[in-house]
């Protein structure tokens, strides 16, 4: 392999471009047979994911402001191929930071060359990483004529030197079959995050040594403003706040969904006109700032609208509840309030978000979200007292319905009758458009019966929505 090549066999595989908007679970029959595996570890992250790119000198001069404007929040630039220096890295590294792109650097690893020398090149180029700098990445896709044992030993040396020199634990980039065939699929590195190269139509299949991927390179033939020609496209499994946290440049204000007391937005909660129902939503502080009494659950989409469901325990017509005390980063808080149904029957969609009053909305640019249309309550108000679906989760009068005090849980929370999204920590953010991750492992504690129950309830909810509209 020529050192001047951007990618070797992993990047040149003639496989299909993945359609991210239609990611599904299950092994793809068209995946390239680069190795054998009896028990595939197929992992999906349908939402949320954050788009990024990785580049080398083969992309030429890059307009990083246009890249940032295209919606790419992060990018990696190649330092070189072994001891060969990439001609554009010295320009790309400062330009990414100046454009506000979370930046990272990688080196195409040559197992046949001295690993310490290669690692020291990385350290000399990027030094101790600071805020906004993502961990260095080792690109493992060549053998250099070395045995699996030697390759693994040289990778270990590189990782140790780079971590000590940069201050951050590196990421390993590789492909499933290359790793299993040429690095003996050793598990000694499964404590490092995996950047998986897999150009498949469907969910990628990870090496046996890992149960999940952190970044997925899904095509090498993408195109975006600011770059001429093809460029590698990647997705990060998580939110923008998660990428920022990895870069040590987390958003000041960010929240992650944990659970809620009313049904998810795929199902309506039915209330009688004038009825009052107690409600709660639990959110996790994933920002860098502690929450305080100015952190409030507010109406959104549009922001600060007067809600038709204001109850006597609300702070105002557009502020449902406020934090009592302080909530440190990493801690969770349950906002409690009530819904008071208006006198006019009808179908209502209520949206909420967090705001640090006088400072910022959590959905503002530069903050970590969620967006203003994510936390939703779909409420059907009737005049005849037909309770329908409602209460503390799922079907009225019981705990077995979809939703419950936790709904689809993505952050380790559980609830009455909740379904668990396996294979990822992505929460169902109160909205059917934001589904959790999935894997071939199935549903925890659910089984086929519970899965069929969920399908049936979803069909009923869809019928109810059509009738209502």
Distance, in Å, from the CA atom of 428 to the CA atom of 436, rounded to the nearest integer, reads 6
The set of residues, in sequence order, having a beta carbon less than 8 Å from that of 463 and lying 6+ positions away, is none
Do 393 and 277 touch, CB atoms closer than 8 A? no
The set of residues, in sequence order, having a beta carbon less than 8 Å from that of 26 and lying 6+ positions away, is 42, 202, 203, 440
376 catalytic per annotation: no
Distance, in Å, from the CA atom of 103 to the CA atom of 76, rounded to the nearest integer, reads 6
Q: Which of 141, 234, 321, 392 is catalytic?
A: 141
Distances from the Cα of 237 to the Cα of 82, 148, 424, angstroms = 28, 29, 9
Dihedral sign (CA 126, 131, 132, 133):
positive
Do 397 and 289 touch, CB atoms closer than 8 A? no
110 catalytic per annotation: no
Catalytic residue numbers read 54, 141
């Amino acid at each position: 392999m020529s050192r001047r090549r951007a990618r070797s066999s992993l990047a040149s595989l003639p496989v299909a471009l993945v359609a991210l908007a239609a990611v599904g679970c299950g092994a793809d029959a068209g995946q390239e047979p680069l190795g054998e595996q009896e028990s595939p570890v197929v992992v999906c992250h349908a939402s949320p994911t954050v788009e990024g790119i990785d580049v080398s000198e083969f992309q030429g001069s890059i307009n990083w402001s246009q890249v940032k404007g295209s919606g790419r929040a992060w990018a990696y630039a190649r330092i070189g191929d072994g001891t060969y220096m990439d001609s554009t890295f010295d320009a790309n590294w400062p330009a990414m930071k100046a454009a506000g792109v979370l930046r990272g650097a990688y080196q195409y690893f040559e197992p046949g060359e001295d690993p310490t020398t290669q690692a020291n090149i990385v350290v000399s180029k990027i030094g101790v990483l600071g805020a906004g700098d993502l961990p260095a990445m080792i690109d493992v896709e060549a053998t250099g004529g070395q045995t699996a044992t030697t390759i693994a030993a040289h990778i270990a040396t590189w990782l140790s030197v780079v971590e000590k020199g940069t201050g951050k634990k590196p990421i390993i980039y590789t492909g499933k079959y290359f790793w299993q065939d040429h690095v003996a699929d050793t598990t000694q590195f499964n404590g490092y995050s995996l950047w998986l190269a897999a150009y498949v139509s469907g969910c990628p299949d990870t090496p046996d040594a890992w149960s999940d991927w952190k970044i997925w390179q899904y095509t090498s033939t993408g195109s975006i403003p600011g770059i001429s020609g093809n460029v590698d496209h990647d997705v990060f499994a998580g939110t923008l706040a998660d990428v920022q946290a990895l870069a040590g440049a987390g958003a000041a204000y960010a929240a992650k969904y944990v659970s809620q007391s009313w049904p998810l937005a795929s199902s309506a909660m039915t209330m009688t006109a004038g009825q009052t129902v107690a409600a709660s939503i639990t959110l996790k502080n994933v920002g860098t700032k502690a929450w305080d009494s100015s952190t409030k659950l507010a109406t959104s989409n549009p922001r600060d609208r007067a809600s038709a469901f204001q109850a006597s325990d609300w702070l105002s017509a557009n502020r449902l509840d406020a934090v009592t005390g302080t909530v440190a980063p990493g801690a969770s808080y349950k906002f409690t309030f009530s819904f008071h149904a208006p006198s006019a029957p009808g179908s209502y969609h209520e949206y909420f978000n967090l705001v640090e009053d006088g400072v910022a909305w959590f959905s503002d640019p530069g903050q970590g979200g969620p967006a203003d249309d994510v936390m939703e309550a779909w409420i059907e108000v009737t005049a005849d007292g037909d309770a329908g679906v409602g209460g503390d989760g799922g079907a009225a009068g019981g705990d077995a319905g979809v939703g419950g005090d936790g709904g689809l849980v993505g952050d380790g929370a559980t609830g009455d009758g909740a379904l668990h999204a396996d294979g990822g920590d992505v929460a169902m953010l109160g909205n059917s458009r934001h589904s959790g991750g999935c894997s071939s492992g199935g549903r925890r504690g659910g089984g086929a019966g519970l899965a069929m129950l969920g399908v049936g309830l979803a069909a009923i909810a869809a019928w109810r929505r059509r009738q209502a509209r």
